[in-house]
Amino acid sequence: MTISLPKTKAMHIHHRDKVTSTTEEEVAEMKFPHKCSKCERSFPTLRGMKVHQGRWCGRKKNRSRAGSLADKAVQKSKRIVKEEERPRVTVNGVEIDNVYTFEYLGSQQQCDGEDDSDVKHRMDIAQARFTSLFHLWADHRLSIPLRLRLYCTAVCSTFSHASEAWHMTDTVMKKINGFNSRCLHFITGKSYRETAVNPDFNLLRSIRQRRLRYLGYILRLPPDRLLRRSLM
């Protein structure tokens, strides 16, 4: 077997590093593409900048960056720097880059073994897909059943990729149901509680069915197959 060094990364097992809080100077250094013309604050997305201009720009005290996309980008950059300070692994005389997270075939692995890291990763991708189809969800010429079919095909299939490997804890199931509830609230106009308790499309049940189908596939394998032996 030949190792592709450009694709190979080193992942040290450790808990999430604590980094300092994000400052406006650090956000400015990221050089995000969208900048407010009034206060010179920069933003990674055009929508974020428009929300800032409509609600917060010009106030004596601007809204905190905590939890925003800009904050997450800065925090990520700090953790990348911390990973580079760790000991390096060398393969055939070539130093391998240290990473905190690693994405393989669309699934994200995290070095601290966090249960919901891949769930958050797929949720971010699905949220971006849902937002890009805003014009469909807001188009009342399309019937609700048609919009739900589009949601299931375009968004839920993206979200549930590699869900067979997820650790379905209570926290993970709440995240899945919460995401589905927010999307259905916008599509159907029903309340958040109603779409959470009695959803028009049950994403959590769909993922469970998908996992059971995969389990059936494994159990039908010959007894000597490594995948079946590992599961049993």
Give the single-character DSSP code of 98: E
Q: Name the more confident of 92 and 119.
A: 119
pLDDT in tens, 130-179: 999 999 999 989 999 999 999 999 999 999 998 988 999 999 999 999 99
The residues, ordered by sequence, that sit 6+ positions from 26 with a Cβ below 8 Å of its Cβ are: 74
Residue with tokens 């159990």: 219
Indicate the pairing of strand 9-10 with strand 42-43: unpaired
pLDDT in tens, 3-12: 677 778 888 8
Query: Identity (one letter) of the amino acid at 230?
Result: S
What is the three-class DSSP state of 107? strand
Averaged over 220-228, what is the pLDDT? 91
Asked if 102 contacts 12 with a C-beta cutoff of 8 angstroms, the reply is no
Q: What is the pTM of this model?
A: 0.77
Question: E strands, the chain, where?
Answer: 9-10, 34-35, 42-43, 89-91, 94-98, 101-104, 107-110
pLDDT in tens, 195-212: 999 999 999 999 999 999
What pLDDT shows up at residue 219?
Answer: 92
pLDDT in tens, 17-48: 788 888 888 888 888 888 888 888 888 888 88
Tokens matching residue 167: 């650790």
CA 174 to CA 176: how far, in whole Å? 5
